Amino acid sequence: MTGRPLIGISTYLEAGARWGVWELEAALLPAGYPRLVQAAGGLAVMLPPDEPSLAASAVARLDGLVIAGGPDVDPVRYGAERDDRTGPPARARDAWELALIEAALQARVPLLGICRGMQLLNVALGGTLVQHLDGHAEVVGVFGRHSVKPVPGTLYAGVVPEETAVPTYHHQSVDRLGAGLVASAYAADGTVEAVELPSGDWVLGVQWHPEMGGDLRVMRALVRAAGPPAGV
């Protein structure tokens, strides 16, 4: 590989997007995601929902993968009954992103899950979710901030060693951790804020939205992991 690492980012698929004179179905991604990848030294490409059987082929062309934030994961994916406060399912996106995660883990492609992406990583590995946290995401469409404390000795702590205030918007969280995952950061109330695989591969999920803040460290770490070995 030469040049900037190619970082794929999963996207929304929305039926009634509007821009200019158009109102059409559209693959959408908030601009903060590609801008964060670009600022961290990567080349961003969008991965809209597709046939899950094509995920391995897509991942084979990437140097790194980001599973972006978005709607609630369908509770059927982790064997739970739907809570009344859980949002409507995005089944095509769930299937595509779960296949992308599986392909990235198998191919050992560096992987970052953001908010929903962290939750889906947990579900992909057999974990479960808390479907509603009282007091979270009460103001629709408004990001809040709170502190996140790293767990010493983890991958995340090596990237962000100090307690940090982060931009956040979610009403669900990790419950039972998926196979092999460890928690690598917590909020003050005990909510798991980061998870990772301590296997030596670069696999990290964060519950907050780094694309909404000015801290590039997590994305820079992904881009470095996706780049060529030192000296190449």
**Average pLDDT per consecutive 10 residues, the chain (232 residues; last block may be shorter):** 88 93 95 97 98 98 97 96 94 98 98 98 98 74 91 98 95 96 96 95 97 95 86 40
136 included as an active-site residue: no
What is the structure's pLDDT at 142?
A: 84
The overall pTM is greater than 0.85: yes
Burial category of 182 from C-beta neighbours within 10 Å (exposed 0-12, middle 13-18, buried 19 and up): middle
pLDDT of residue 230: 45
Residues with Cβ within 8 Å of residue 193, at least 6 apart in sequence: 148, 166, 185, 186, 187, 206, 207, 208
First-residue to last-residue Cα distance in the chain: 9
Q: What pLDDT is recorded for position 2?
A: 58
pLDDT of residue 199: 87
**N residues, the chain:** 232
Residue 228 has a pLDDT of: 77
The answer to whether 175 and 130 have CB atoms below 8 angstroms apart is yes
Taking CA atoms, 72 is separated from 3, 42, 89, 132, 170, in Å, by: 36, 28, 7, 10, 9
- Closest C-alpha to 99, from 8, 232, 195: 8
* Helix orientation angle between 91-107 and 116-124, rounded to the nearest 10 degrees: 70
In Å, how far are 7, 16, 36, 48, 89 from 27, measured between CA atoms?
17, 10, 19, 6, 17
Beta strands in the chain (DSSP E): 6-10, 12-19, 22-28, 43-47, 64-67, 111-114, 129-130, 144-150, 164-168, 173-174, 182-187, 192-196, 203-206
For residue 209, indicate whether it is catalytic: yes
Question: 113 pairs with which residues across the strands?
Answer: 67, 205
Q: Which residue among 97, 193, 196, 211 is the active-site one?
A: 211
Q: Which domains does the chain have, with CATH numbers?
A: 6-226 (3.40.50.880)
Q: Are strands 203-206 and 192-196 parallel, antiparallel or unpaired?
A: antiparallel
Is residue 115 annotated as part of the catalytic site, yes or no?
A: yes
Using an 8 Å Cβ cutoff, are 183 and 149 in contact? no
Neighbouring residues of 65: CB distance < 8 A, sequence distance ≥ 6: 7, 8, 9, 10, 59, 100, 101, 104, 109, 110, 111, 112
Q: By C-alpha distance, which of 219, 224, 228 is closest to 38? A: 219
Catalytic residue (choose from 23, 51, 115, 146): 115
Catalytic residue among 97, 193, 196, 209: 209
